[in-house]
Chains A and B, each alone.
Chain A
Amino acid sequence: MKDGYAIEMRDIVKRFGDVNAVDHVTMEIRNGEFFSMLGPSGCGKTTSLRMIAGFEYPTSGEIYLNGTSIGTTPPFQRNVNTVFQSYALFPHMSVAENVAFGLQMKKVPREEIGRRVDEALDMVRLTGYGERRPRQLSGGQQQRVALARALVNRPDVLLLDEPLGALDLKLRKEMQIELKRLQERVGITFIFVTHDQEEALTMSDRIAVMSEGKVLQVGTPTEIYERPNCRFVADFIGESNFIRGQVSALNANDVTVTDGKGLTLRGQMVQPLQVGDDVYVSIRPEKARLSVQRPSEPPNNLFPVTVDRVAYIGSDTRIMVQLGQDQLFDVWEQNTRSTVDRDAYWQRGEQGFLWWPAENALVLKD
């Protein structure tokens, strides 16, 4: 079953008291993909995951696992396994007993359990750790036991609830790569819940960005970052400058926006717009340029600016400039030359020209 959807959520609502934690969510997750649900806390991503696992049942709507409705099937009858945020390893069992637990519940023959537990521990590079207790392992090792304990059951879908949240930054980056590699190797559908956008971008085939119980956008990491469909997505994923204004002219995909304080900007349309709409022009800081000289071939968007603040962060220099009367704008310049010469960097109070091609500016509604 390589084609089709592993999980389909059809118009799912989950109500707690009088709050819709999940508000009419429809999502399709393809077989074998690494799918992330990304959003701030309280956006409904964990509740969605718990409904797929069976820990919560939807208030309304249907969930399908490989085409079969699983709405109110209890967790122990779903071929879906979870890696918990806290790992939830059984402290009174050895590592091997933890990994064997799911197979014992399914009454797999003893010899096969032994073999599969060893395989699973090999897979997460914990060969020889079977006799240890979970508390004798480091956080990263416990994390891998949790993975082995879930994957040993060969689930149709593996659910991961912020599994890297408790690890320190360096270990987290290692585990991101390891998780992705593991997923490619076993070919199981992974549904990964996280609030860390970089984590989602690094690992996912596709990402669903969620906010306040709703799915705002589903797409590949490139689509999500380069073509966000609303201000929230552009703001939540990466960083962006937003200039507020009104649409004053439309020409095919080319939108002209005025901010009412003398700025006129050109950007591209990513969603249907009409003249007069309130919009934000979104420009990523790395997609704008700052130069001392006026460019010889002036682009559509060119503004004289004053440098307000400069932050040198090693790989980049982040320059905050004053644009127009009261608009601050962040520009990132990569430090491609190795030098300690002060003149090679921007200084506070310097004058310059800020510019970007119209295609780098997206015109978004709220």
Chain B
Amino acid sequence: MATESAPLGQAPNSSLDTLARRERGRLFGLLFPGLFWLIVFFALPLVVILLYSFLTPGPTGNVIWKFTLDNYITLFTKDLYVNAYVRSLWIGLVTTVVCLLIAYPLALYIVQRSPRWRNLLLFLVLIPFWTNFLVRTYAWMIILANNGVINSLLQAVGLPRQTLLNTTGAVLVGLIYGELPFMVLPIYASIDRFDFTLLEAASDLGASRARAFLRVMLPLTMPGVAAGSVLVFIPTVGQFVVSDLLGGAKVDMLGNLLQRLFTRSNPPNWPLGSAMALVFMLVLTVAIIFYFRTTTEEDR
């Protein structure tokens, strides 16, 4: 038996090796397009930005090859920049929380309809995407403007005009409006998977409706809440279109400053912009890691 198995054992082994190699080749084939794209268009520019952030800005918007930490020092000491960070994170947080408070009950309502109504309601949630985001934001300008729709109505019933446009409130309204579907959809998906018998079981075991929700339904739909929050928070913090159009020049978010540093200011200051973008990435990454830590704890 032993003499027989030795030569037999070798042949399949080498062909197994070939198989494994072929398998690895196939997997790499799947990976390659994505990897190529990310390296060329994401990783390399990131390296450039990292490099720039330690260089000195020149007088004509050029970059002088001289190492410096000034860019970072400016970011953490000048009120303009510190405030922009705080404001952006704050606006992101408020937008996320308000979206959450609107989206969760809405998603729950939709899940509990009959299949026909569900599809219709989901369709309605998605309908704004059919129109360009910029156009929709201009529409908000028309609604909120000093002689816009709301103020005309106020005037018609004899109330004084309000300043609505070019305020933080206007920016928040525009952001919440725009981001809401991104919160509704993941929450809808996780509530749809939720087994409502579990709520009956909790109630049967003595939990009031509120406690059954907090102890059973919320933890089990947390993946949707977490996904929705990230999908809303990240683009919101980096927004510059909504804050530009609805906030005027008065509500500066990170995106607005970045845009200015890279293109509009005279001269452009790429090193400072690069440093700002990197710190921004770092802050977001830390915030998101922290968020996932606290929300997914329940499940492990």
Contacts and interface: CB of A to CB of B under 8 A. Distances in A.
A86 interface: yes
A92 B201 CA distance: 14
Given A91-B220, A92-B298, A86 B197 contact: yes
Contacts of A128: none
Interface string A100-115: 0110011000000000
Contact of B204 (A75, A86, A90, A91): A75
B207 interface: yes
Interface in B186-224: 195, 197-198, 200-208, 211-212, 215-216, 219-220
B17 interface: no
Given A91-B220, A92-B298, A153 B201 contact: no
Interface in A73-112: 74-76, 80-82, 84, 86, 88-92, 101-102, 105-106
Contacts of B201: 82, 84, 88-90
A73 to B, nearest CB: 12
A144 interface: no
Contacts of A55: 200, 203-204
A81 B211 contact: no
Contacts, number: 62
A53 B204 CA distance: 7
Given A92-B219, A92-B220, A92-B298, A105 B200 contact: no
A283 B82 CA distance: 92
Contact of A76 (B207, B219, B299): B207
A318 interface: no
Contacts of B206: 76, 102, 105-106, 153
A82 B220 CA distance: 21
Nearest to B216: A90
Interface in A247-279: none
A82 B299 contact: no
Interface string B91-109: 0000000000000000000
Nearest to A53: B204
Contacts of B298: 92
B203 A75 contact: yes
Interface string A57-77: 000000000000000001110
Interface string A139-153: 000000000011001
Interface in B224-247: none
Given A55-B200, A86-B195, A88-B195, A105 B220 contact: no
B202 A81 contact: no
Contacts of A54: 203-204
A88 B200 contact: yes
A101 B299 contact: no
Nearest to A86: B197
Contacts of B205: 76, 81, 101-102, 105, 149-150, 153
Contacts of B202: 90, 101
Nearest to A159: B204
B193 to A, nearest CB: 11
A88 B200 CA distance: 9
A92 B299 contact: yes
Contacts of A89: 201
Contacts of B198: 88, 90
Interface string A323-363: 00000000000000000000000000000000000000000
A105 B211 contact: yes
Contact of A82 (B195, B204, B208, B215): B204
Nearest to B300: A92
Given A91-B220, A102-B205, A105-B206, A75 B200 contact: yes
B220 A76 contact: no
B207 A105 contact: yes
**Most central of A54, A74, A80, A88 by chain B CB within 10 Å:** A88
Contacts of A101: 202, 205, 207, 215
A76 B200 CA distance: 9
Which residue among B197, B200, B206 has the maximum number of chain A CB atoms within 10 Å of its CB? B206
A150 B204 CA distance: 9
Interface string B159-203: 000000000000000000000000000000000000101101111
B164 to A, nearest CB: 44
Contacts of A74: 203
A89 B200 CA distance: 11
B26 to A, nearest CB: 32
Contacts of B207: 76, 101, 105
B103 to A, nearest CB: 21
A102 B206 CA distance: 6
Most A C-beta atoms less than 10 A away, residue of B201, B212, B298: B201
Interface string B128-156: 00000000000000000000000000000
Contacts of A92: 216, 219-220, 298-299
Given A80-B204, A90-B216, A102-B205, 8 more contacts: A53-B200, A54-B204, A76-B203, A76-B207, A84-B197, A92-B298, A101-B202, A150-B204
Interface of B: 195, 197-198, 200-208, 211-212, 215-216, 219-220, 298-299
22 contacts: A53-B204, A74-B203, A75-B204, A76-B203, A76-B204, A76-B205, A76-B206, A81-B205, A82-B204, A84-B200, A84-B201, A86-B197, A88-B200, A89-B201, A90-B202, A91-B220, A92-B220, A101-B202, A105-B207, A105-B211, A150-B204, A153-B206
| Pairs A-B, 9 closest by C-beta atoms | A105-B206, A102-B205, A88-B201, A75-B203, A88-B197, A82-B204, A76-B206, A76-B203, A105-B207
